[in-house]
């Protein structure tokens, strides 16, 4: 029963380092895939880990829907403590809504249905729930009559997970993070985890969790160890078994690793099971190989990430032609990972440029300006009337958390190109400043799902 993650050469764990290197090659060369971090565990030991600069081991990363698996763990612990009953109705935890919720199918939605995304609704209900009751997502959700009997159909549905988080808050009398800290986070050595909250002060549950890659790996290892950590049982073995097997079929999902069935806030896959979040946040657990793969990134093509894992990583496990001599090369490569900065000509004197109005799809970004800071330039962006300031690296990333930026002059037309990474999230913004027209445009590489430039960072506790 693993309690720490000692570092061991891949070959000592039966993994050919060449396969890991080929996996890295695929991540770095596949369109619509951008890796930010990898932690690969086997037998509870680190076979490989690395962060693509400017991302770093000690920095949290927005997990998007991988947050759901942490919410589910809170439910599992509450079940073990006798605070939550899987067969109780969701409505029973909110008796103040009893008179409002009259639809019989809504009244029959059970906790286990919420966990399995099987509330009986055929499609996502978040927008409709918020329209029904903007101040109470649970009420808005339960006021939407299911299309089918709960437990019979799958639909990825954010209010299911939000309601699970609300149930844990209701039975524990505190927040999700407060409940998880002594029961999950501290035992697993997770010392930094924060959660985006809604206007009511409640954690989103279905998204918004910020945690380091090591926390993803630890959660996967806990499930791999069937709920036991350091000799202490945190989750019941029956819970782990139920959470990681198909509870409801989902044959209509487009991608092969998304139509293998759904458990309790975990997806089944062609190999093992996983939690995942938008743009490539992964906790992949492979019980047959005794392996956990934790990944973060900015990858719209998430199926391509899994395809690469199945093509390159799996054959490397217990490979008959394992090459121990490849370990050192992989170690050096993992220590030097990085995302390319902006390349071009050196920046000119920008002091006289002044404030430049900005257009584009980065909402709230009104204007930009440049100022000298010792030996380097800084970008000052006016966002919703507030200033966001970041140093600019030339030929490199300048990091001032939660931002990293790189800039250069594009050869040919003299436009200034600036890339700004929000390094506690997947997201990257591209800025182009036309020196002659004194105009600027800003575009997201990937669109944030529930935050903007001022909130793309670890929330305060």
Mean per-residue pLDDT, 412-435: 96
Same domain, 309 and 440: no
Confidence at 2, pLDDT banded by 50, 70, 90: very low
Beta strand extents in 175-330 (DSSP E only): 194-195, 209-211, 228-229, 232-233, 267-268, 273-277, 281-286, 291-297
Confidence at 352, pLDDT banded by 50, 70, 90: confident
Same domain, 313 and 364: no
Same domain, 329 and 197: yes
Please indicate, yes or no, if residue 351 is contained in any of the structural domains. no
More confident residue, 412 or 338: 338
Give the range among 370-384, 422-436, 438-452 with minimum mean pLDDT.
370-384
Please indicate, yes or no, if residue 349 is contained in any of the structural domains. no
pLDDT of residue 412: 85
Same domain, 286 and 396: no
Please indicate, yes or no, if residue 454 is contained in any of the structural domains. no
Supply the range of the domain harboring residue 230: 10-335
Alpha-carbon gap, residue 294 to 216, rounded angstroms: 6
Confidence at 211, pLDDT banded by 50, 70, 90: very high
Under DSSP, is residue 310 helix (H, G, I), strand (E, B) or coil? helix
Please indicate, yes or no, if residue 329 is contained in any of the structural domains. yes
Work out the percent of the chain whose per-residue pLDDT is above 70: 99
What digits encode the pLDDT tens for the residues 81-122?
999 999 999 999 999 999 999 999 999 999 999 999 999 999
Q: What is the DSSP string of 167-215?
A: HHHHHHSS-HHHHHIIIIITTTT----EE-B-TTS-B-SSS-EEE-HHH
Work out the percent of the chain whose per-residue pLDDT is above 90: 95
Mean per-residue pLDDT, 367-384: 92
pTM for the full predicted model = 0.97
With 70 as the cut, is the pLDDT of residue 57 above it? yes
Give the closest residue to 312 by CA, choosing from 22, 25, 107, 104: 22
Same domain, 37 and 88: yes
Same domain, 280 and 429: no
pLDDT of residue 461: 81
Give the closest residue to 389 by CA, choosing from 454, 449, 456: 454
What digits encode the pLDDT tens for the residues 334-348?
999 999 999 999 999
Mean per-residue pLDDT, 249-265: 96
Same domain, 124 and 180: yes
**Domain finish residue from 335, 370, 392:** 335
Please indicate, yes or no, if residue 459 is contained in any of the structural domains. no
**Domain finish residue from 273, 302, 335:** 335
Same domain, 50 and 162: yes
Please indicate, yes or no, if residue 417 is contained in any of the structural domains. yes
Please indicate, yes or no, if residue 348 is contained in any of the structural domains. no
Same domain, 87 and 169: yes
Q: Long-range CB contacts (< 8 A, 24+ apart) of 458-461?
A: 458/60, 458/192, 458/194, 458/210, 458/402, 458/424, 459/194, 459/195, 459/196, 459/197, 459/208, 459/210, 460/194, 461/177, 461/194
**Domain finish residue from 305, 335, 365:** 335
What digits encode the pLDDT tens for the residues 58-71?
999 999 999 999 99
Same domain, 302 and 387: no
CB 342 within 8 A of CB 64: no
Same domain, 307 and 192: yes
What digits encode the pLDDT tens for the residues 141-194?
999 999 999 999 999 999 999 999 999 999 999 999 999 999 999 999 999 999
Number of structural domains the chain divides into: 2
- Domain with residue 180: its CATH number is 3.40.710.10
- Tracing tokens 């040919």 back to the chain, one arrives at 412
pLDDT of residue 4: 65
Please indicate, yes or no, if residue 452 is contained in any of the structural domains. no
Confidence at 40, pLDDT banded by 50, 70, 90: very high
pLDDT of residue 1: 40
Same domain, 190 and 260: yes
């Amino acid at each position: 029963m693993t309690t720490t993650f000692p570092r061991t050469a891949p070959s000592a764990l039966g993994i050919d380092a060449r396969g890991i290197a080929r996996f890295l090659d695929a991540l770095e060369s596949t369109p619509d895939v951008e890796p930010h971090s990898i932690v690969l565990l086997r037998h509870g030991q680190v076979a490989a880990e690395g962060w693509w600069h400017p991302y770093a081991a000690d920095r949290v990363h927005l997990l998007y829907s991988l947050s759901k698996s942490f919410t589910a763990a809170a439910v599992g612990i509450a079940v073990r403590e006798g605070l939550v009953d899987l067969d109780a109705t969701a409505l029973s935890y909110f008796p103040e809504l009893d008179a409002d919720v009259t639809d019989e199918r809504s009244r029959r939605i059970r906790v286990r249905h919420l966990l399995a995304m099987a509330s009986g609704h055929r499609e996502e209900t978040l927008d409709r729930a918020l329209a029904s009751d903007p101040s109470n997502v649970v009420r808005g959700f339960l006021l939407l009559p299911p299309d089918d009997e709960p437990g019979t159909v799958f639909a990825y549905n954010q209010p299911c997970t939000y309601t699970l988080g609300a149930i844990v808050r209701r039975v524990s009398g505190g927040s999700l993070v407060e409940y998880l800290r002594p029961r999950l986070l501290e035992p697993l050595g997770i010392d930094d985890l924060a959660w985006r909250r809604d206007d009511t002060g409640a954690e989103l549950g279905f998204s918004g969790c910020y945690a380091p890659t090591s926390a993803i790996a630890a959660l996967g290892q806990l499930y791999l160890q069937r709920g036991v950590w350091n000799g202490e049982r945190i989750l019941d073995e029956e819970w782990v078994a139920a959470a990681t097997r198909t509870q409801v079929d989902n044959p209509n999902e487009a991608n092969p690793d998304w139509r293998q069935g759904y458990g309790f806030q975990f997806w089944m896959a062609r190999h093992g099971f996983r939690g995942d979040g938008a743009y490539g946040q992964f906790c992949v657990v492979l019980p047959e190989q005794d392996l956990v793969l934790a990944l973060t990134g900015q990858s719209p093509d998430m199926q391509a990430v899994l395809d690469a894992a199945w093509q390159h990583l799996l054959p490397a496990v217990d490979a008959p032609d394992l090459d121990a001599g490849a370990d050192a090369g992989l170690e050096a490569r993992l220590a030097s990972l990085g995302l390319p900065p902006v390349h071009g000509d050196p920046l000119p004197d920008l002091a006289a440029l002044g404030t430049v109005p900005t257009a584009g799809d980065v909402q709230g970004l009104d204007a930009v300006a440049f100022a000298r800071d010792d030996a380097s330039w800084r970008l000052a962006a006016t966002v919703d009337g507030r200033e966001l300031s970041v140093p600019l690296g030339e030929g490199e990333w300048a990091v001032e958390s939660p931002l990293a930026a790189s800039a250069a002059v594009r050869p040919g037309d003299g436009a200034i190109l600036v890339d700004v990474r929000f390094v506690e999230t997947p997201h990257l913004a591209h800025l182009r400043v036309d020196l002659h027209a004194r105009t600027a445009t800003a575009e997201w590489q990937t669109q944030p799902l529930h935050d903007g430039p001022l909130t793309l960072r670890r929330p305060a506790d």
